[in-house]
Every structure is written in structure tokens, then in C-alpha cells.
Structure 1
């Protein structure tokens, strides 16, 4: 032990040793484990959003529009995670990593696994919340998201904002003007690379690469304890531990828009360097998983989503009507520059 270490008080020395232990990188498990989804009801825990996060989001709803924009700018910059670029095997890496050498999913569009090299970028640690999106809506004098009578049951400042693809992109690009940074939606490759903690073989974007229901993913019956509505709806961001890179809720709490057009055969022709997706299309790529489904998606799973989704809903007079539903269509923004944001 060094002379300096000997001179440290016991508590300080213990902290240093613990810090170095916690700083050790988390490696993906060779055989990912999933605990039982069902937990005795009396043992289900109603988690609360960390106080600092809740306070920041609450503050975004107070003051003048200019003051709120300034607070949002500060929060956005503080929440960015720098992602050092590198080369990884994108797609269903089961044949490369799993002991059985079999695919991890039945999704035919994430085959075949292929090599991709990404430049460095930065990405938001949290999905965009309604509190943040409301600042944008008020500043640009556009309609607030999910502001209809059928949406208000799940709409809450602390939960991920559900919006169509174009509004998600508009928000990110508006943030770019506010911060003077090249902000946009992440590409599909960037999303997967970040969810897999820089492209490692993480099947799930949890803190340890496993599914521990009730600890790092909602258990069956727990979601109603987490949501402001008390129903199976979006829950506040940041309730569960982030993945090793620092991303929260990448495995649950709704899907996330990416910038790419969807093409089921794109992986066969994808360029190796910073792929941007097809040049055109009719649907966009969404990653993650919809609200209300107990299945936890792997980090390679892809979905094709229409830019405008419609779903049947029951109106106040119990009749059926076609309404636009984006409850599960969340997103997070990324800074498209190779240098860290200072």
C-alpha cells in the first residue's frame, strides 16, 4: 500500500476501494439469465423517480418560456453520454456469441449479422419526457403532444413523450438550434451500438445484461404501481438502473424512433461505415418494445413503424373512433459530432 493510501482515513480508503470496484466495466454474460416474471404481490415495489430528476422535470413547467428553454438547454447538455466510436457486429449475434450458436430472435430482418464501424457521437441518457417536449411545443407555438381527452390518462411530465416520427425529429433539430449543436434522432446503428454498451454482446440493455424482474425491469403487475395513471402505461424515466454505458430504459418503457427508413433487406447491403439507412421508404425503424407487453426485446430487434399510426379507441359515449395513438412511440436525441460536448 502506498504512503498516501496509508495516510487516508479508513472511511476515505474504503470509499476509494469501493469506487474502483464499481468502476470495473460490466461484461456481457455468456449465458444471459431471465428471472421469473411473477413476484408475490406483497413483494412488488412501487419505485419512485430519483428526486433530482423529478425536480429538474418539474422546473421545466415553471417560469417564462425563455426561462424554461434555458433550463431545458442546461438539462439536455448535462444528460448527454459520450459514446466513443468503434467497430461492432450489428444484428442478431447469436450465432457468434450464444453457446448453442443459434439466433437470439425470430426477427428475420436483423439477419445477417454484419460488421459496422461508427464514428463517436453523444446520446441522451433518458428518453424525452412530456415536460421537455412541452417546452419545445410552447416555444415553437405548436400543439402539445398527447393533449387530447383520451390521452390525458397516461400523459404526465415525467414519462416518455409519445409522438409521431416527424415531431420527434423536429424536436431534436430544434434542440440543435437552441444548443448550436448538430442534434438529430440517432441512426439505427447508433441506437443499437449504445444499447449494447458500445456494441458488446449484450442481449438486453440492462445494468448486468440479465433480466431481473422487479429490479432492472418491471415485473408482472408492477407497472401499475409505477405509472401516474395506475394503469399499464408509460412510467417515469429513470426508475430502473441504466445499462453499463448509462442509457436508461432502453429495454422497456416504450419503443424509440430512429432516423432510418425501414427495409427488411437493408442489412444485406448496409455500408460498413456509419450507415444511415435506406434513402427512402414508407416506414421508419423503431427499437425497444411497446408499452403493456411483458416481453423484453433483445437489443437487436427491429420494428417497422408507420410515420402515422392509428388505433381504435373508445370515446366518451362508448362508440368506436379512429384516433391517432403514439403512446408507445418515444425517442431520445443524439449529437452527431465525433467530439464530446463541452
Structure 2
């Protein structure tokens, strides 16, 4: 599997600092250089002198993990958007389609309304993207050391209370941490800015160009460098338990085998529950929406630049990918600020290492 490739020698001198060898923060990695590890330790020590040793250690581990989880995506060109589907699907199911050059029908009814019907050429420089969505615990360690509230609202019955957040002194918080320590689950978010801030915090500590991926980068990676895959699974199909498809050879409907299941209609029980796509990236067709960097405008791609499109300069809503529209080109527009934390609004970070 490819991991990030970056000219660290060109990036790290911007820090102009050396690790304090006496620091009790202990981080190691098989893929991250010692110079990079020293940079992380030095920046955490300088930025958070009053933090507890546990908070510093947890934060350092988060940044190292973020670098280790990067998958390098070689740049290239592709046609972004709904690349059409067969008008008559041989398998008789939307979840199991194969693209052909003759495909002429919209792959999804929503494409006519969300702007993805505007098939358009895009050329991207190389970048890296996390193979996983950001976990609740990684988000929590970042927010804890920065004095930010837990990404969980207090509840009244089963309903979240807007503006009231779980306290770290609450007994419920201890139960929450215990659960997420045992189960690596994607973090929820309340706002686009929280996702943006997390990725940029990684960049500040590592001195690497972390940010949210652009919408074009997200789709290019989900489609394994722009291939005609309707779903970002191991085989381009979305195979659900107890689902049926029509088998042309046997001329009858057959059930998906247990060994073939690669998706679910529910939120994943844990990050990486199902196989990754051919690039080695997990969870890009898993019902969990992911914030990307772009403002939303359904007509933006009628006149967008071909090279590294960044989205509109402004807008009222931000783009979410995946979520309830699990196809690789599906778009969702959402207000960048919600009333409460929602477990199905998450994100992954990218490294803008153009080569």
C-alpha cells in the first residue's frame, strides 16, 4: 500500500527547532522520520507548556497516526461527476452496475438536482489523503489539549440539547471514553469549521500542509484515481447482507454471499469494518457524510477551472460527500453550522503535497 510521499527536507526547516531530548513524550514510527517525530514533540512542548503529560502524549500520538494513515494519490485527469450508467442494468440492482462507454442514463436521480450531472474534465496534482475517517478519540485528544468541549451534546432523554455539551467530569463521559477506547468509531461534528480546524491543527504541529480535501480530490480518491466506480468499495459494487441481484448465467436472482458483503445501510460499527477501495482507502461509501473544503454551488462545475478546482469563493452551504448519497460522485449541501453534534457528519484530512 502506498503511504504519503513528501519532501520533508524542504518542509521541516520552516520550523527551525530541535526536539528537546529530555522531553518525556515518547513517539516512534516505522514510517515517519526521526526528524519529523522531533518536530512534533518540540511543537507540542512549546505550544502546550501547561498541559498534562498524558495530554501531550495523546496529542503527539494523534499527529503521528495521522501521518502514518496517509495514502499517496498520484495526480491525473478524469471526468468528474455522474459518468452515467446503463439504462438497463443487467443485475437489475443499482448497487451492482458495470460502466461501459455506451452508458447514457444518469446514475442517480439526485444528479439532476445537486450539480453532479455536469460531467467535466479535472486535472489534479498529486496529494495524500487519510485512509480512515477521523476517529472520535483522535478528535477528543486534539480538543482536550486545546480546551475545547467534547464533541457530544448532553441529552434530554434521547434528544441532544443544543449548546450544552458533555463535561469531562461527568460519569457519562467516562463511559463514553471507555466505549471509544474499545471501538474505533468515526467522530461526529457540529460544524464544518471543526473539521477544518482539526486538519489545520495537524498541520501546525507537524509543519506539513494538512487540510480538508477538496471535493475533486475526494472524488478522485473514492474512484481510485478517477475510474468509473459507482461505489468506493473493494470492487465498485455495494453488496449488502440479504440483498439480491439477477445472475445472467443462472437466469435467476441470487443472494449476496456473506463473504461478499462490503457495505451496510447502517453506520459502520467501527472504522475499517469493510474492505478498502483499490487505493487502500476505507469508508468512502459507508453512509457517513464527510465534509470537504468546498462551498456548495450546484452550477459551479459548469464553468470551473480544470486544474485543481477549489470550489466557489463563497456560499451559504458546504459540500458533504458520501452520507445518504453513497455513490462516488454524489454531493450533499449542508449548512456549515448545525445545532448539535451528529454522528453521521464526519471528515478525513488530506496532505496537499503537490509534486
1:111–1:267 contact (8 Å) kept in structure 2: no
Offset at residue 78 of structure 1 (A)? 0.8
1:202–1:209 contact (8 Å) kept in structure 2: yes
1:257–1:286 contact (8 Å) kept in structure 2: yes
Other structure's SS at 2:79 match: strand
- Aligned: 1:125 with 2:131: yes
5+ residue gaps, structure 1: 1-21, 24-61, 224-232, 291-295, 311-323
- Aligned: 1:103 with 2:96: no
Offset at residue 72 of structure 1 (A)? 1.1
Alignment of 1:284-295 (within 5 A): 284-290=318-324
Aligned to 2:54: 64
Aligned to 1:213: 240
Summarize deviations over 1:112-135 as a string: whole Å, max 9, x none.
100000000000000001110011
Other structure's SS at 1:192 match: helix
- Aligned: 1:184 with 2:218: no
1:129–1:160 contact (8 Å) kept in structure 2: yes
Aligned to 2:352: 336
Alignment of 1:81-100 (within 5 A): 81-94=71-84, 97-98=99-100, 99-100=102-103
Task: Give the RMSD, CA atoms, in angstroms.
Answer: 2.4
> What is the alpha-carbon distance in structure 2 between the residues aligned to residue 79 and residue 136 of structure 1?
17
- Aligned: 1:276 with 2:276: no
Other structure's SS at 1:72 match: helix
**Which stretch of the first structure deviates more once superposed, 117-126 or 90-99?**
90-99
> What is the alpha-carbon distance in structure 2 between the residues aligned to residue 330 and residue 282 of structure 1?
19
Other structure's SS at 1:177 match: helix
- Aligned: 1:249 with 2:275: no
Aligned residues: 250
> What is the alpha-carbon distance in structure 2 between the residues aligned to residue 174 and residue 65 of structure 1?
15
- Aligned: 1:74 with 2:64: yes
5+ residue gaps, structure 2: 3-51, 87-98, 161-171, 242-260
Other structure's SS at 2:301 match: helix
TM-score scaled by length of structure 1: 0.68
1:234–1:327 contact (8 Å) kept in structure 2: no
Offset at residue 309 of structure 1 (A)? 2.5
Which of residues 193, 205, 223 is equivalent to 1:196?
A: 223
Aligned to 1:146: 152
